[in-house]
Amino acid sequence: MATTLVKTDFNFPGQVSVYHGKVRDVYDINNETLVMIATDRISAFDVILPEGIPYKGQVLNQIASYFLESTADIVPNWRLATPDPMVTIGLKCEGFRVEMIIRGYLTGSAWREYQAGARELCGVKLPEGMKENQRFPEPIITPTTKADAGHDENISREEIISQGIVSAEDYAIMEDYTRRLFERGSKMAAEKGLILVDTKYEFGKHDGKVYLIDEIHTPDSSRYFYADGYEERFKAGEPQRQLSKEFVRQWLIDHNFMGKPGQTVPEMTPEFCQSVSERYIELYEHITGQPFVKADESNLTERIAVNTLDCLKNL
């Protein structure tokens, strides 16, 4: 099986700190620039799973770069350069403590809550009589508070503003950007025979201006259905064919793991990891319309270090 990058320990010139997230490792250079490395780690139910997924970091980083470039006319974003298949370098912004989740269809965690009787999600009223994977009359925004550890919590627009987490003015800008980005992402997905079902966006501020930060429209932050057969499957009450991380969550659920205390992560065999890798590559090719070129991973850390240092010198 291909080499995977599950841990990084770089020391770049001007480095003041490093943050190891669930999937990304973020290096702060002089409190001005961020080096974001997309590792091959995979998480589900807020748990980092024990095995890496080959080429996952490359897939995520390159999809994010593709969409950041394709939406820069809608919203300014943090990205300055992509010097390596697994690295993005960009502006350091002060991130808002909120993730903007937008949903076009009733599925995933929203469906699980609806099925349990909820008819309101993050202050948004939900119609009666909806079915799993049904399209909402119009996309709904269901924000969460961004947690340093553990689960993010659902929160309403009103609570965000009243608690002073985000100002009313900034929230209005984020909401507008969220809807416009989702509209663009949905259109781009439709052109490739996909449905952008739901996704999340993160925003921050730099010099008083709101910027789009982090990744967008990747399989870690989004859910896609195949458009072909959607209506037939929906009418028949059948599961949708989807390209997202939901199949990993479902595999874990089927093996009695949902991140709860006392539960054990099932064995991730090389065959399973390879199958997950193939699904990520499939999404890359589908959503970008470009063939996926596997980068040389014979010495991942050296390649990343050289490419990143060269870029930092020229910024």
Q: Where are the domains of the chain?
A: 15-93+270-314, 95-244
Query: Do 215 and 229 form a contact (C-beta atoms < 8 A)?
Result: no
Give the dihedral sign, CA 70/73/79/84: positive
Q: pLDDT for 210-233, tens place per residue?
A: 999 989 998 888 999 999 999 999
Q: pLDDT for 121-149, tens place per residue?
A: 999 999 999 999 999 999 999 999 976 65
Number of H helices, E strands in the chain: 8, 17
Query: Residue 64's pLDDT is what?
Result: 94
15-93+270-314: CATH topology is: Phosphorylase Kinase; domain 1 (3.30.200)
Query: Residue 187's pLDDT is what?
Result: 97
Q: Is the pLDDT of residue 150 over 60?
A: no
Kindly state the average pLDDT of the residues 247-258.
92
Domains 15-93+270-314 and 95-244 share a fold: no
Alpha helices in the chain (DSSP H): 56-70, 108-115, 157-162, 168-191, 230-236, 246-254, 270-288, 300-314
Q: Is the pLDDT of residue 253 over 90?
A: yes
In CATH, the number for domain 95-244 is 3.30.470.20
Give the dihedral sign, CA 18/93/185/83: negative
Distance, C-alpha 91 to centroid of its chain: 19
Query: Do 104 and 130 form a contact (C-beta atoms < 8 A)?
Result: no
Query: Residue 282's pLDDT is what?
Result: 87
Which residues lie across from 154 on neighbouring strands? 144
Prediction pTM value: 0.88
Query: Residue 13's pLDDT is what?
Result: 96
Which tokens hold the place of 45? 């139910």
Confidence band of 315 (pLDDT split at 50, 70, 90): confident
Query: Residue 297's pLDDT is what?
Result: 86
Q: pLDDT for 13-60, tens place per residue?
A: 999 999 999 999 999 999 999 999 999 999 998 899 999 999 999 999
